[in-house]
């Protein structure tokens, strides 16, 4: 495939040759170049790596359905209970909702997805199976990893651990956990199950951490201790962790150094909090960091629209970024930052100025988007997009090409 007149990371107009699923060459744009048989007209648009949504809950989506009154109650248990009371009563089936949401994400440029799938005594494997079916349906358009997620905790309801193991036997990619202290109130037993099942089935770990201040630090240190003891460096991610930076600067330094040493990554949904660990400090130290949309207009929240470029804007906004370099850094996090979590062979971002993913030999997972500069692309979030996965155009004009009727 030949991409004519595109601007990699907003740079000079270039012509890009793809061979199979790799970038084969990048040269200055030549308007005299003869038309190629398989050609994409960049029209001067910006070329970036495709988006990596590494924290999304496809299993709870209401994307495409009418807005409804938000009935969630405070706290994780209250919100989870609200979901339990309502998710079966949606206007269309869960598999349709999940597939439609994934389709919309791909259409907007996300070709790498790490989705949670709730597994508990209420839904058993029903939500996991819906996400797994969508993964198969769009196998040619996106890479999807499924995290089995004990949203209601592991210890509070007998039988949960058995269902989690059933999902791992069925092929789940990542073992999930949640608030070892605050929800299950027994971090040792909770982490015994999480790390034990991950080790048994040789999968990665992703732990939701909503806990406040010193309690969050305590849980994070327990996770790090087990990571070191079991030799699971490069296999653990902590999600949210928006209170880890709220204790003191010495604790911040210790945590950042520990995460870098053990290759424990972090994912964020760009919440409105000032107590997270500083993003630039994390990346400068070598900590992998990715972005996700979390819920998608579901029973937890009315937010989310399947567009990670919107969430990139939010990441820049909540961090107070105004300089072009930092806004570009937010976009690097949303693209290759997450890619380096899903595949640890992908190099982590080296600094706030690092713009990887568009070099010769890199995987041809790409998005063309309109904009004058990277900063303007993030601010304006245009809709003139072409999405390429493994060297093949999979979406154009916010529509997935393999699907006749958009969701």
Average pLDDT over residues 66-93: 91
Angle between helices 160-170 and 187-201 (to 10 degrees): 20
| Measured distance CA(192)–CA(51) in Å, rounded | 33
* Residues forming a β-bridge with 39: 2
The three-state DSSP-derived secondary structure of 77-128 is HHHHHHHHHHHHHCCCCHHHHHHHHHHHHHHCCEEEEEEEEECECCCECHHH
The CATH number that domain 2-48+358-400 falls under is 2.30.40.10
pLDDT-derived band at 76 (thresholds 50, 70, 90) equals: confident
Percentage of the chain modeled with pLDDT above 90: 93
Using CA of residue 189, residue 264, residue 361, residue 377, what is the dihedral sign? Answer: positive
pLDDT score for 285: 97
pLDDT score for 36: 79
pLDDT at 37 over 80: no
Report which secondary-structure segment, H or E, holds 223.
Answer: helix 213-229
pLDDT at 189 over 70: yes
For the chain, the structural domain boundaries read 2-48+358-400, 50-342
Average per-residue pLDDT for the chain: 96
| Measured distance CA(5)–CA(139) in Å, rounded | 29
pLDDT-derived band at 122 (thresholds 50, 70, 90) equals: very high
| Measured distance CA(233)–CA(263) in Å, rounded | 6
Structurally, at CATH architecture level, domain 50-342 sits in: Alpha-Beta Barrel (3.20)
Of the candidate ranges 30-34, 213-217, 292-296, 337-341, the one whose mean pLDDT is the lowest = 30-34
Average pLDDT over residues 97-114: 98
pLDDT-derived band at 34 (thresholds 50, 70, 90) equals: confident
Extended strands (E) in 131-212: 143-149, 174-178, 204-209
pLDDT at 20 over 50: yes
* Equal CATH topology for 2-48+358-400 and 50-342: no
Per residue in 51-60, pLDDT (tens digit) is 999 999 999 9
Average pLDDT over residues 91-117: 98
Residue with tokens 């909770």: 190
pLDDT-derived band at 320 (thresholds 50, 70, 90) equals: very high
| Measured distance CA(170)–CA(53) in Å, rounded | 23
Would you state the structure tokens that stand for residue 136, as one six-digit string? Answer: 């198969």
Residue with tokens 């820049």: 316
pLDDT score for 404: 53
29: exposed, middle or buried (C-beta count within 10 Å: 0-12, 13-18, 19+)? middle
Task: Name, in order, each residue with C-beta under 8 angstroms of 71's C-beta and a sequence gap of 6 or more.
Answer: 82, 86, 299
pLDDT at 11 over 50: yes
């Amino acid at each position: 495939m030949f991409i004519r007149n595109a601007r990699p990371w907003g740079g000079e107009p270039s012509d890009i040759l793809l061979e199979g699923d790799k970038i084969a060459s990048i040269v200055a744009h030549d308007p005299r170049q003869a038309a190629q048989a398989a050609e994409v007209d960049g029209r001067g648009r910006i070329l970036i790596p495709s988006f990596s949504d590494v924290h999304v809950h496809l299993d709870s989506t209401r994307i495409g359905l009418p807005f409804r009154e938000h009935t969630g109650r405070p706290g994780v248990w209250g919100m989870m209970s609200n979901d339990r009371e309502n998710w079966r009563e949606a206007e269309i089936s869960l598999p349709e909702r999940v597939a439609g949401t994934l389709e919309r994400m791909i259409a907007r440029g996300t070709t790498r997805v790490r989705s949670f799938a709730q597994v508990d005594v209420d839904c058993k494997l029903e939500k996991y199976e819906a996400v797994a079916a969508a993964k198969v349906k769009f196998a040619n358009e996106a890479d999807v990893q499924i995290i089995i997620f004990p949203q209601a905790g592991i210890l509070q309801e007998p039988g949960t651990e058995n269902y989690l193991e059933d999902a791992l036997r069925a092929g789940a990619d990542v073992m999930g956990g949640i608030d070892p202290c605050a929800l299950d109130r027994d971090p040792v037993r909770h982490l015994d199950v999480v790390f034990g099942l991950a080790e048994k089935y040789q999968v990665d770990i992703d732990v939701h951490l909503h806990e406040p201040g010193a309690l969050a630090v305590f849980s994070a240190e327990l996770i790090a201790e087990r990571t070191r003891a079991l030799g699971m460096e490069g296999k653990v991610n902590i999600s949210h962790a928006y209170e880890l930076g709220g204790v003191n600067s010495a604790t911040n330094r210790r945590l950042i150094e520990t995460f870098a040493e053990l290759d424990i990554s972090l994912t964020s949904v760009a919440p409105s909090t000032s107590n997270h660990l500083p993003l630039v400090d994390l990346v400068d130290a070598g900590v992998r960091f990715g972005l996700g949309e979390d819920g998608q207009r579901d029973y937890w929240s009315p937010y989310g629209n399947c567009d990670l470029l919107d969430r990139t804007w939010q990441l820049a906004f909540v961090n107070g970024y105004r300089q072009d370099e930092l806004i570009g850094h937010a976009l690097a996090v949303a693209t290759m930052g997450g890619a380096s979590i899903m595949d640890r062979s992908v190099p982590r971002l080296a600094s706030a100025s690092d713009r990887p993913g568009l070099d010769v030999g890199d995987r041809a997972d790409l998005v063309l988007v309109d904009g004058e500069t990277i900063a303007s692309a993030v601010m304006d979030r245009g809709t003139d997009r072409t999405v390429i996965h493994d060297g093949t155009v999979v979406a154009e004009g916010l529509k997935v090409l393999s699907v006749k009727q958009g969701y």
